Chain A
Amino acid sequence: MRNAFFGCSIAFVLGLVGCTGEEGTTVPEDSGAPTDSGGSDSTLDTSTDGGGDSTSDATDTGTPVDTGTPSDTAPGDATDGGVACAPTPAPAITKTGAANKILLKGTVVTPDTVFVGEVLVEGDTITCAAASCAGSAGAAAATVVETNGIIFPGLIDTHNHILFDIFDETDWAPTKAYGNHDQWTAEPKYSAMVDAKQYLNGEGSTADFGCEMDKFGELKGVVAGTTSIAGAANSANRACYGSLARTIDQSPNDLGADKVQMATLFPTKTAADGVCGNFTDGSTDAYLIHIAEGVDATALNEFAKLGSITTTANCLYGPKTTIVHGTALTATQFDIMAGVGMRLTWSPRSNVFLYGAGTDLSKTTNVPLALSKGINVALAPDWSMGGSQNLLDELRFADKVDNTVWGDKLTPKMLVEMVTTKAAKNLGLDATIGSIAAGKKADLMVIGGDASKPYDALLAATPREVRLVMVGGVPLYGDAAIKALGPTTPGCETIDVCCASKFVCVAEAGGTSTNKFGQTFAEIKSTLEGALTAYDALALTSYKFAPLTPLVRCP
């Protein structure tokens, strides 16, 4: 799929004039900040190739122009042929009803079809997804939102290192292209960054900012429509992880059980045998393990080692195991994976950053080959140093790799599935999350854009175009115009996201000094900024890690 949203870039750059505040900055109520309707700067647009590229444009091999950075405007704002971008109507609450019943109207994207209709949320569950939910018992009492947008399932991030998401590549970037993941960790600046992360997270220090680090990382995901994150946050299972996005690989995931195990290190024999035991006794449904990250023989050999490390050979070769990265894998390993139902999570931007010097887009997992074998593939950003800032960015980068390296073999729909249905399958949670259907958890995102091309619209979206995100039926982020949808106690904040006024609901009732549920976004941001500044002041290294990376990086 070739790039479909370059056309609005000029408009956006101009639109930034007079709006230079840091994205994600809390703004006072009635501050006059612009309310985004998906295209406030469109009148200046001179775009030529808007968000309307066909989802089935598999033969288009034109030169991609996406650099993987966030898009510059809403997909619906740009049109082909230099026609000015036209904004879609803003979302609106058309009826105020029960707080725990929300009826969303818009274009609904389900795994099987796209239709104009309704999604009824009652409590934390979707109870209806149909052209009309009027017949549902809860519909009459529901608060009704005319989204004027596209309703997707919340995105699922199956690969992140969330405590590092306070950093970005200004904090560390590799000095050269590497062959495998054991090589770049000796870089002095990387090591200094890990020191900073460990210090802030209380790993041998008296500091304790792990909750704030985790919540900031989750917020970076939430504003991009991400509702579940496998973030490998440690120490594990802290109460404070039980807010915002689902910490899907830990017990505070609001699902009643944690059957997702994540491994960033190659396991010991004991640990590997333990996972096999967990498969057998049903306590683990998904084992996400970093394997074959890199492009050399060392990386490749990890796959064979994974088969031999266990007492019962190959017991990790099975449908509950997801290979995270798999960059070095070839047809030989993909055949094995396909034969036993193993899965794959792909993180192209991180791969190219580390193993392709940031420019060689071929230095990533051969996803078309994996798909051709029938392997279930998810897409995830890894982390924000060189990985994408969020899943929307990663979708664009994946699209760019596909266009550049593979000749556009991945349709927008295929890419979107990699962060929804197929991501849920990698987690063993496809019966619970990842799609819109009655009975599923109400993890949803709504974007503006061309509803006739919903997958293109999602590939073009940025946090600015995200109109609503809810996790378990609780609205956490969206356009300020529908802020009233958020929890009233303790209330939501208004923030500026790339010149768009948004609400974000971070603080929760029941906060304590331990669970920190009561923290607002402003408090989290301020705490982390202060912590990074204080760490720099220790002068343990010549490298500096303040300021905090922005919540959203605008172009």
Chain B
Amino acid sequence: MPTTTNSTSCRAKCRRASTNRALRIELTNLPDGLDELLEPFESLHWGQGEGHANEGAIDAVLVVGRSCLVGQLRRHEQSVADERRCTPYATSPPLVPTPGMRPLLLAVPLLACSPAPLESRAEPTAILAPLRIAAASDGGLAFVDLTSGAVLAHRESGPLEDLVVDPFRKQVLAFETIPREEGGYVVHHPLDPTAVARRWFVDGTARLAAVPAGTLVFERSYGERWRLVGDRPLSSLPSPLPRSPFVEGTRALGLTEDGVLHTVETSPFAVAAERPLLLTHRTARVARTSSGLCALDLENGVLVLRTLEATATPLAIRAGAIVDLTPYEGGLAALVDQPLQLVVVRGTVAHALPLPGHPCGEEHPGCHALVAAPPRVAIGTRDRVHVVRMSADLRLDLENTLEGVHGPIAGPLP
């Protein structure tokens, strides 16, 4: 394992794009030639910190949520060696290029964090791919290298209806259906390949979210309920199924078909707010941008960006339904249908890229169709995964189409 001895220092810092899971890394002051080394990591968006580069690798401090991972970045693998708390920077560290060095932009910083020291680095405990997502495949769950399309690991499963990354427990949560039956299993797939998956039954359909206290299950069985399954039993909260639920800290938010934005506090578990929004289309979605919560709506067949105060900005893009919405680069990325296309919104500027194939569809409300991994977006459709790359001038290009895997997808994996 390379050490930091005689290495060249570089700086890394993060920005909080919109949620804790959207931290992104920026490395600067790199010596010539190391940009090639970093290429596999250029869209790594879940960490920040300070690192040291040498010929073989970059040691870096990465941050996920409020935890720091002291690790090592190599060309095709990443070693995570230690975990510790991170404290926020009061100010950003200097990012001044020096002669002979050039900045390598990996992310757009929004929030800086204090790096943890490197000297306490321990031996790696797991070998992880540089940029991985979880995706459904025929007969199983695949961990896929988004940049190469390689299937890094495969686990057998029933038909997958939902996939969610659980960064708090370093696992992927899956909802598997059972052929001929109505129920399904919530399966906890540890990222550690030696760990055993754990599963439990849901008497109906479900979609999932990972929260610090456990797994939040949006359940449609004997009623529609939000249920927190953690270390101890809790009462559920009767509430409709949300579209594109997301987690902010200990709160989970979800917009329901009736246009109400539901917010629950998960610690302790209780309804925090129910806010009716002025939306026009039942497939409208809400996500957080750098300027706050925004809704993507449809009005007369045209996409409309709304603030929660109902200020509307038409985006001049026609669509019939909104399938998924996720924060992206301080703005939004959306998968819309009729026709199927990826839409990226920054400020009030939107770009659209038509896509082949079919989304998972409304009948699969748990199907996560989008994964934001700037400068890429992965789109899980019914029969494949598309990888779209966004250039600096916001041009969208279909970079790759991964066969053999399909939606739902989730990621990037920690």
Residues of A with C-beta under 8 A to B238: 185-188, 191
Looking at the complex, which one of A187, A188, A234, A270 makes contact with B203 (CB distance below 8 Å)?
A234
**In the complex, chain B residues 168-219 whose Cβ is within 8 Å of any chain A Cβ:** 178-183, 186, 200-205, 217
Given A204-B186, A265-B220, A265-B221, residue A191 in contact with residue B236 (CB < 8 A): yes
**In the complex, chain A residues 161-219 whose Cβ is within 8 Å of any chain B Cβ:** 161, 164, 182, 185-188, 190-192, 194-195, 197-199, 201-205
Given A186-B238, A198-B203, A235-B201, residue A261 in contact with residue B361 (CB < 8 A): no
Residues of A with C-beta under 8 A to B221: 194, 265
B224 at the interface (CB under 8 A from A): yes
Considering the chains assembled together, what is the distance between the CA atoms of A265 and B361 in angstroms? 18
B227 at the interface (CB under 8 A from A): yes
Given A204-B186, A278-B180, residue A186 in contact with residue B217 (CB < 8 A): no
Residues of A with C-beta under 8 A to B363: 268-270
A236 at the interface (CB under 8 A from B): yes
Considering the chains assembled together, what is the distance between the CA atoms of A203 and B222 in angstroms? 13
Residues of B with C-beta under 8 A to A187: 238
Considering the chains assembled together, what is the distance between the CA atoms of A65 and B178 in angstroms? 47
Q: Is the CB of A236 within 8 A of B205?
A: no
B308 at the interface (CB under 8 A from A): no
A140 at the interface (CB under 8 A from B): no
Q: Is the CB of A204 within 8 A of B227?
A: yes
Considering the chains assembled together, what is the distance between the CA atoms of A197 and B233 in angstroms? 12
Considering the chains assembled together, what is the distance between the CA atoms of A191 and B202 in angstroms? 15
Given A204-B217, A234-B182, A236-B183, residue A191 in contact with residue B235 (CB < 8 A): yes
In the complex, the chain A residue whose C-beta lies closest to that of B236 is: A195
Considering the chains assembled together, what is the distance between the CA atoms of A541 and B238 in angstroms? 14
Q: Is the CB of B222 within 8 A of A201?
A: no
| Cβ of B407 to closest chain A Cβ, rounded Å | 12
Q: Is the CB of A202 within 8 A of B222?
A: no
In the complex, the chain B residue whose C-beta lies closest to that of A259 is: B180
B364 at the interface (CB under 8 A from A): yes
Considering the chains assembled together, what is the distance between the CA atoms of A284 and B180 in angstroms? 9
In the complex, the chain A residue whose C-beta lies closest to that of B204 is: A265
A264 at the interface (CB under 8 A from B): yes
Residues of B with C-beta under 8 A to A538: 233
Residues of A with C-beta under 8 A to B201: 201-203, 234-235
Q: Is the CB of B229 within 8 A of A204?
A: yes
In the complex, the chain A residue whose C-beta lies closest to that of B200 is: A204
A540 at the interface (CB under 8 A from B): yes
Give the number of chain B interface residues (Cβ < 8 Å).
Answer: 31
Q: Is the CB of B236 within 8 A of A268?
A: no
A263 at the interface (CB under 8 A from B): yes
Given A190-B223, A194-B222, A195-B235, residue A201 in contact with residue B203 (CB < 8 A): yes
In the complex, the chain B residue whose C-beta lies closest to that of A186 is: B238
B225 at the interface (CB under 8 A from A): yes
**In the complex, chain B residues 226-263 whose Cβ is within 8 Å of any chain A Cβ:** 227, 229, 233-238
| Cβ of B141 to closest chain A Cβ, rounded Å | 18
Q: Is the CB of B235 within 8 A of A192?
A: yes
| Cβ of B239 to closest chain A Cβ, rounded Å | 8
Residues of A with C-beta under 8 A to B178: 235-236
Q: Which has the most chain B C-beta neighbours within 10 Å: A194, A195, A199, A201?
A: A194
Q: Is the CB of A235 within 8 A of B235?
A: no
| Cβ of A63 to closest chain B Cβ, rounded Å | 37
Residues of B with C-beta under 8 A to A283: 180
**In the complex, chain B residues 90-118 whose Cβ is within 8 Å of any chain A Cβ:** none
Mask, B46-63, CB within 8 Å of A = 1, is 000000000000000000
Residues of A with C-beta under 8 A to B179: 274
Looking at the complex, which one of B200, B217, B234, B237 makes contact with A540 (CB distance below 8 Å)?
B234
Looking at the complex, which one of A188, A198, A263 makes contact with B182 (CB distance below 8 Å)?
A263
**In the complex, chain B residues 299-350 whose Cβ is within 8 Å of any chain A Cβ:** none
Considering the chains assembled together, what is the distance between the CA atoms of A186 and B204 in angstroms? 16
In the complex, the chain A residue whose C-beta lies closest to that of B180 is: A261
Q: Which has the most chain B C-beta neighbours within 10 Å: A188, A202, A203, A205?
A: A203
| Cβ of B176 to closest chain A Cβ, rounded Å | 12
Residues of A with C-beta under 8 A to B182: 232, 234, 262-265, 271
Q: Is the CB of B361 within 8 A of A269?
A: yes
Residues of B with C-beta under 8 A to A202: 200-201
Q: Is the CB of B235 within 8 A of A205?
A: no
In the complex, the chain B residue whose C-beta lies closest to that of A187 is: B238
Residues of A with C-beta under 8 A to B203: 198, 201, 203, 234-235
Q: Is the CB of A186 within 8 A of B181?
A: no
Q: Is the CB of B233 within 8 A of A205?
A: yes
| Cβ of B213 to closest chain A Cβ, rounded Å | 13
Given A192-B235, A203-B202, A235-B183, residue A185 in contact with residue B227 (CB < 8 A): no
In the complex, the chain B residue whose C-beta lies closest to that of A197 is: B222
Q: Which has the most chain A C-beta neighbours within 10 Å: B179, B200, B233, B364?
A: B233
**In the complex, chain B residues 147-186 whose Cβ is within 8 Å of any chain A Cβ:** 178-183, 186
Residues of A with C-beta under 8 A to B200: 202-205
Q: Is the CB of A194 within 8 A of B223?
A: yes
Residues of A with C-beta under 8 A to B364: 268, 270
Residues of B with C-beta under 8 A to A203: 200-203
In the complex, the chain A residue whose C-beta lies closest to that of B179 is: A274
In the complex, the chain A residue whose C-beta lies closest to that of B203 is: A234
Q: Is the CB of A191 within 8 A of B205?
A: no
In the complex, the chain B residue whose C-beta lies closest to that of A192 is: B235
In the complex, the chain B residue whose C-beta lies closest to that of A383 is: B222
Residues of B with C-beta under 8 A to A262: 182
| Cβ of A64 to closest chain B Cβ, rounded Å | 32
Q: Is the CB of B361 within 8 A of A186?
A: no
Mask, A278-311, CB within 8 Å of B = 1, is 1000011000000000000000000000000000
Considering the chains assembled together, what is the distance between the CA atoms of A62 and B142 in angstroms? 68
Q: Is the CB of A191 within 8 A of B225?
A: yes
Residues of A with C-beta under 8 A to B233: 195, 199, 204-205, 538, 540
Residues of A with C-beta under 8 A to B181: 234, 236
Q: Is the CB of A185 within 8 A of B222?
A: yes
Residues of A with C-beta under 8 A to B183: 234-236
Residues of B with C-beta under 8 A to A198: 203, 227
Residues of A with C-beta under 8 A to B225: 191, 194
Residues of B with C-beta under 8 A to A192: 235
Residues of B with C-beta under 8 A to A164: 222
Considering the chains assembled together, what is the distance between the CA atoms of A192 and B222 in angstroms? 11
Q: Is the CB of B180 within 8 A of A540?
A: no
**In the complex, chain A residues 227-286 whose Cβ is within 8 Å of any chain B Cβ:** 232, 234-236, 261-265, 268-271, 274, 278, 283-284
| Cβ of B366 to closest chain A Cβ, rounded Å | 10
Listed A/B pairs (5) with beta-carbon separation below 8 Å: A186-B238, A195-B236, A202-B200, A205-B200, A540-B233
